[in-house]
Amino acid sequence: MSKALTPRPVEAILDWAGTGFIARLALSSAYLLGGLVKLTDFPGAIAEQAHFGMPYPTLFAILTIAVELIGPALILSGRLVWLGAGMLGVFTALAAITANAFWTMPTGPERFGATNAFFEHLGLVGGFILTALLARRRD
């Protein structure tokens, strides 16, 4: 859609300097919150990794917390956005494959839910790619 066809209120929102930050915050907020929750309940973070069958749950809990806190920090700071977006995009893709392997499930409500969750995660991966692209164009 060309800028000439964009309604003025929408144009004003898109041109406002804070819109980009709010969008990046919205995209990364679940990871930031997840990292903080895991950091304050480290035994729970380890248990979550064990639940998903990770071979070294303590190590994967530490790595997950690091990715979930560092990735959003980079995205929100506007520095090394490509790295933060890449960290969260790869993390999200791996989590989707690990936690939502719908292709291994029999037909039914569980498979339906896992399929939806998988494709929601795929959408987030796309959002992180777009975040990196937009940051690159801004630089």
Check whether 2 has a pLDDT greater than 70. Answer: no
What pTM was estimated for this model as a whole? 0.89
CA angle centred on 132, ends 83 and 66, rounded to 5°: 30
Check whether 1 has a pLDDT greater than 60. Answer: no
Taking a C-beta distance cutoff of 8 angstroms, is the pair 128, 72 a contact? Answer: no
| pLDDT value of residue 4 | 75
What residue ranges do the domains of the chain occupy?
3-138
How many CB atoms within 10 Å of residue 66? 13
Q: Between 17-40 and 42-51, two packed helices, what is the crossing angle to 10 degrees?
A: 90
Q: What is the pLDDT of residues 85-125, one digit of tens each?
A: 999 999 999 999 999 999 999 999 999 999 999 999 999 99
| pLDDT value of residue 139 | 57
Distances in Å between the Cα of 34 and the Cα atoms of 30, 42, 70, 72, 137 are: 6, 11, 12, 11, 29
Taking a C-beta distance cutoff of 8 angstroms, is the pair 65, 38 a contact? Answer: yes
Please state whether 80 falls in left (phi above 0), alpha (psi between -120 and 50) or beta.
left
Q: What is the mean pLDDT of the chain?
A: 94
| pLDDT value of residue 137 | 84
